[in-house]
Amino acid sequence: MSNFKRNFHLLFERPHQPVFIAKGPKKTAFKVCEEYLKVNPRYKCLGVSHCNSFDKNAEELVEVKRTPIPSFDEILELKRDENFSLFIPKHRRLAGKLIDIFWNMPDLDHLLFTAMCARDCLNPYLFHYALTVAMLHRPDTKDMAVPTFVEFFPDKFVDAKALAELKDQAILISENSRKPIEVTEEVSDKEVEHRLMYFREDMGVNLHHWHWHLVYPHGTSDLEDKTEAQVEATKKIVDKDRRGELFYYMHQQVIARYNYERLCNDLKKTKKLDWTKEIEEAYFPKLGTLKTGMSYAARVANQKFQDLDREEDKRYVDELKKWSDQIYAAIHHGSVIDERGCLISLTESKGIDILGNIIESSALSHNRTLYGDLHNTGHDFIGNIHDPDNRHLKSLGVMGDSAMAMRDPVFYRWHTYIDDMFQEYKATLPRYSESQLNYPGITVSAIEVQSHQSPNNTFSTFWQKTDLDLSKGLDFDTKGPIYWRFKHLQHQPFTYKITVNNHSNSNKKGTCRIFLAPKYDETGKPWSFRDQKIMFIELDKFTIDLERGQKIYSREDHESTVTISFEKTFRKFQEEESSAEFNFCGCGWPHHMLIPKGTPEGFASQLFVMISNYEDDKVAEELGETCNDAGSYCGIKNKMYPDRRAMGYPFDRLPRNGVDTLQEFLTPNMRVQDVTIKFSDRIDIHGPVN
């Protein structure tokens, strides 16, 4: 099994070099055969023997067991030098076909040989996505760690100037003399949106979005073309517990976090996108692909949605209004219409999940004909807004790529539009009564945040610089690591101290829910509860054993069930590792972005703690030993979502009558503590990621 792991990993490394070029620390090349050359005709002139002796530096030649190869004919229509986008229907269909091929391989021998032959003839981004999704979900590859995307496609995260310097260093400077490449940030005071570049262009934030869509893919190829067995296989990949609700909640939290950061930077909350009007914001990504030299398209200010008339991507702006109107009609009627014309109720417990799958338009949508492809089409329009009819032959903007979309300010405007639909539905639900919020006998009497070298109830943030080895994504022999030094936000470690009184006659069990929100709105005034409730960002959620009487409970920030550690976010693959759960653990909000930036003078915020009744929260299965360190945004691998309550509870619905402020919303099992987020404009050096 260890050789299989290593060999699969080598297929990801240096994605634009053929498999018969040595890769990895042992300088390993794959031995190719006639079947390989049949699907890779550009190497046919070399012949089998010449391919297998091509790289004189190869120290090990791996011979993969030969098995029958399926046809890749239609999948080959996406050229190797094109950008791949999950938001383009044809690309999504091709990805689905390739996922199906990898998923249906009967064993690891068939999978490895098929992947080896497919790797060098197919689009590398498509290949990486499909193989990763298949490996994340196949039972026999669940213990194979999937490497982080930045490790092999640094051009999606590192600007072209830095990549050029990395290449120069690899060629001209010996390994022992190299220093990390660091590019000065290009920020203009004339563009206020540049204040948020540290958030939008943070690698961990963008990797989170990419990995979430790997764990929760839109779907494989069209279900109507499949046998009953194939449909069931597809459902194993797509139909995860509360998947549609997770689409809603993860993106809602991203918008809340982004708006929090905007307030910290003296900016107003992001505006909902109106696609009938011009988009005010421009965006220039300054990114280019290593192999082709093509840059990702910029969007100048004041561009507007237009019908797309590209060769294999034809879309009409009017469809957005038609689909939106149908979705709003379903929300107001309390039911959706499926493909057979039957009504499906948007119930209290299932409605948000149904809507999430319809709005994203995953394979689980009840009626794509009626409700369309809203979320994906919006991304597609924006990603091609610079060249809607392809007359300039210009490739995608970053909104067309799930690994890069969060870099663009308009991502948050589009998702604010999407989130407003979900909020419209939430407004139709019964409001939580006091009895649905309270936990009789339990009182949260005090909250305190303790952080090293900071006053109590103060979160301290600062800049940090970290070195990341990008050598495995560079398509030339680097002879050792090539480090890129990037700057990111970080916070001082801290501890929650929560004082709880259990007034009952027995020990109890609860769920501790911790949220944070700005204390004041954009105008500097206290929030109305209706507006503040969607500004709360989840920091942690965990089970707590409540002993009789009063007790102080401690919780460290690194234990958060929202985030994954810095090391897991940027983790390098190690051949000897065998963690069966890293793949899902790779999905999670980056821990270094847990706390918003704050301000030098201290940004006033409110820390909310609630302890709810575990008997009302628990699900009907145990987590066991599975990975659950970022379950709030990513769920739990092969398990039910670890909380029976609605995601975002207790802030997911309108308040009960008579509640206008946060203080009026509280019940005895809740407490709010005023806290401050203080930013220090200093830089700490972290060093290389191990």
> Residue 655: CB partners within 8 Å, gap ≥ 6?
431, 432, 529, 530, 533, 664, 665
The angle formed by the CA atoms of residues 429, 433 and 439, to the nearest 5 degrees, is 125
- How far from 65 is each of 30, 62, 109, 529, CA to CA, in Å? 11, 10, 6, 63
312 is catalytic: no
Q: Collapsing DSSP states into helix, strand and coil, what is residue 484?
A: strand
CA atoms within 13 A on the CB side of 269: 21
The first and second tokens of residue 409, run together, are: 């300010």
45 CB neighbour count, 10 Å cutoff = 8
> Of these residues, 360, 538, 601, 615, which one is catalytic?
360
Q: Collapsing DSSP states into helix, strand and coil, what is residue 605?
A: strand
Q: In whole angstroms, what is the distance from residue 610 CA to residue 487 CA?
A: 35
CB 508 within 8 A of CB 549: no
CA-wise closest residue to 555 among 567, 539, 570: 539
Q: Collapsing DSSP states into helix, strand and coil, what is residue 538?
A: strand
The first and second tokens of residue 72, run together, are: 């890749």
Cis peptide upstream of residue 650 (ω within 30 degrees of 0):
yes
Q: Return phi, psi of residue 84, to 5°.
A: -105, 135
Element (H, E) at 200: helix 197-200
Q: How far apart are the first and last CA of the chain?
A: 24
Q: In whole angstroms, what is the distance from residue 106 CA to residue 109 CA?
A: 8
Residues forming the active site: 360
